[in-house]
Amino acid sequence: MSEVASVKVRELLGEELHDLRFEVLCGSSHLRNPITHPRVQKPGLAFAGHYPYIKPGRVQIIGESETTYLETLDPSERLDRFQSITQLDVAVFIVTKGLPVDEELVECCRQHEIPILTSPRLSSVVIKRVGNFLEEHLVPSTTVHGVLMDVHGLGVLLIGKSGVGKSESALDLITRGHSLVGDDRITIRRYPNEELIGYSEGPLRHHMELRGIGIINVKDLFGLAAVRQRKTIDLVIELERWQAGKAYDRLGLDETLYRILDEPCPYIRMPVATGRNVAILVEVAARNHVLKLQGHFSAQEFARSLEEELDRKREAAAR
């Protein structure tokens, strides 16, 4: 099930952004205000009277240029701007570079329950750090039951019903020199560049559950090179038990897609049966996908070559 993560203003005060040295100037009782947009905004146009430029749920950064402009306004006009802006859906104001904050703005923010944070850092630094933080926490996300591996540099997500052999296949891949990103519960985020990044959270990171053995620590057993923190998902392989009489793709001519967070991923349905070495098949599928990315489609090239041979035989028979 997908969800859009939410960020409360108080989360900006956490350890991840400790280098910005935020202090709460006012609104400490309203730090639960939600930030709903990953991009921060400078309210210069709004201070000039163009209020539609204030986008709901964004962090508003007040720097030196905004402060200097406000000083040029008539006091009554400045107060009118403050009153109009603070009635909009503003999550928080952040004043940078240790600049003084107009008391009228502080009072308007108190009335409309908008926190003001201050930082001694430059606006450019605050914008970059807060923007990266919000992008990381506000992008669409979902969790899937599966195993994510780095195979030949590709992020390969193994899915399938419980007990089909996902973890055992992943363990075999690890012994063949590939790396584990996560087992069982994979968190996936879709970033603005349309990349799907998967990783494992919490105590499950670097661990696997193997029936009959229990929980193992892959990093301790196989070394640091056997694990990865996160990986782009490039290929989805669904393992399913072999069913007699069921039609399976034998040529690989059809390109099938699997959607994660509405983003299409190349998809392979791979039957699992006694005697099939699934790890080697996954490895070959990854190698073949790399070739496709380089423009070499083995199945299509084979079909084209076969068709050309048949055409030559037809022409020869017609003579």
Which of the residues 166, 178, 206, 231 is marked catalytic?
Answer: 166
> Could you give the CA distance from residue 281 to residue 287 in angstroms, rounded to a whole number?
10
List CB contacts of 231: < 8 A, sequence separation 6 or more: 148, 150, 155, 181, 197, 198, 199
246 as an active site residue: the answer is no
> Could you give the CA distance from residue 170 to residue 146 in angstroms, rounded to a whole number?
10
Task: Centre a 10 Å sphere on the Cβ of residue 87 and count the other Cβ atoms it contains.
Answer: 14
166 as an active site residue: the answer is yes
Which of the residues 18, 246, 250, 314 is marked catalytic?
Answer: 250
Which of the residues 21, 145, 185, 276 is marked catalytic?
Answer: 145
292 as an active site residue: the answer is no
Which of the residues 97, 172, 184, 219 is marked catalytic?
Answer: 184
Residue 288 identity: N
DSSP conformation class of 40? -
112 as an active site residue: the answer is no
> Could you give the CA distance from residue 135 to residue 111 in angstroms, rounded to a whole number?
30
Tokens matching residue 168: 């055992």
Strands (E) across the chain are located at 3-4, 7-8, 23-26, 34-35, 59-62, 92-95, 116-118, 140-151, 154-160, 179-190, 196-199, 207-210, 214-217, 230-232, 235-241, 256-260, 263-272
Question: Catalytic residues, which ones?
Answer: 145, 166, 184, 250
